[in-house]
Amino acid sequence: MIENFDLKQLVEPLQNWFASNARVLPWRETPTAYKVWVSEIMLQQTRVEAVKPYFDRFIHELPDVKALAECPEDKLLKLWEGLGYYNRVRNMKIAAQQVMEEYGGVIPSGYEELIKLKGIGSYTAGAIASIAYGEAVPAVDGNVLRVITRVAADDSDIMKESTKKSIEQCLFDIMNDVQDGKTSVIPSIFNQALMELGATVCVPNGAPHCDKCPWNGLCEAKRQNRIDEIPVKTKAKQRKIEKKTVLIIKDGEQLALHKRPAKGLLAGLYELPNIPEHQSEENVLTFMKKQGYEPVRIQPLCDAKHIFSHVEWHMKGYVVFVASRELKREEGAAEYDTMQHDKQDWIFVDVEETRKNYAIPSAFSKYAEYLNLVLGKNVFEK
């Protein structure tokens, strides 16, 4: 158990290792509270290399809390396009408005104040407080849970909140263990080093690189030959599968888009029109006519799959070329229950406008490849 392991012995080798092995990352150059905050939110569910260009663009467009608080939602979502989990950036804007209204535009330095902000949990609050302000508080994410349970050979389930709380408390204790009027822990270095060790050495997928680990001679999981057993993690529930037929509807150089509902999955984002289940070409053409469009040609596209946290989309795609958008809907359209989609929900926009102004989820990126190839334009601009 973690309580029976001497964590103090880990501090010095870890901090020394980080000094010579830390990756050069844009948010580490000048780790202000704002940059740490933006980077940590982006890094949730997203790889470091993928985040780098998003971070640079976001900071360029929204360099401070004030700019974030005042950013129009369409622009904000466009800046986030491709990162997914869009509620993260919506919550950031709300939190930025809180900072402007309650803290005079200055991100608070204390953990207890940070955790009151919208979308900031214990990990992000710990990261900002320690990295930007030097407060001796832990920042425990999946990487930290893994490296700590492995080094201590702790087989507690890391999916349980009680395990996380226990590790947070143990790390807090050693970070605040003062001897002879000082502590050996440098909060900003210690927390970043734990994250770095989990990201580059004691990795989440595949075998850890034990020969490069500063704790090579201290790791209980290695000594006990239990590396493959730890961390212990309960399996997530099986994801629900939803079948969809995705339509690229083209009228000349214009493309049809549909805005998703304000609540729920991908709330408020623009998407390619889609209908339930996997439909045949004949059904799609019938659907288009009943919506009041005159399809002149249909072209099947490849199948695609996108995985969310709790649901998978299995998609079948078609390009539908239409000659007119002025026809009246055929009588009986409302009876086509399995494929209803109100025509008024669709907008037609120029491809260039789509690229610049509309945030379209990466779930549809496979079908964007077709548009990029045919039109020679990057519809899903990153």
Mind telling me the catalytic residues? Answer: 40
The length of the chain is 382
Give dist(CA 256, CA 292) in Å, integer: 14
DSSP calls for 197-216: HHHHTS-SSS---GGG-TTT
Give dist(CA 139, CA 31) in Å, integer: 15
Q: Let me know the angle formed at the C-alpha of 314 by 309 and 316, rounded to the nearest 5 degrees.
A: 150
For the record, the structure tokens of 57 come out as: 């663009």
The H or E element containing residue 351 is helix 351-357
Q: Residue 271 pairs with which residues in a beta bridge? A: 258
SS3 275: strand
Give dist(CA 71, CA 91) in Å, integer: 13
Q: Residue 300 pairs with which residues in a beta bridge? A: 318
Residue 329 near residue 347, CB atoms below 8 Å: no
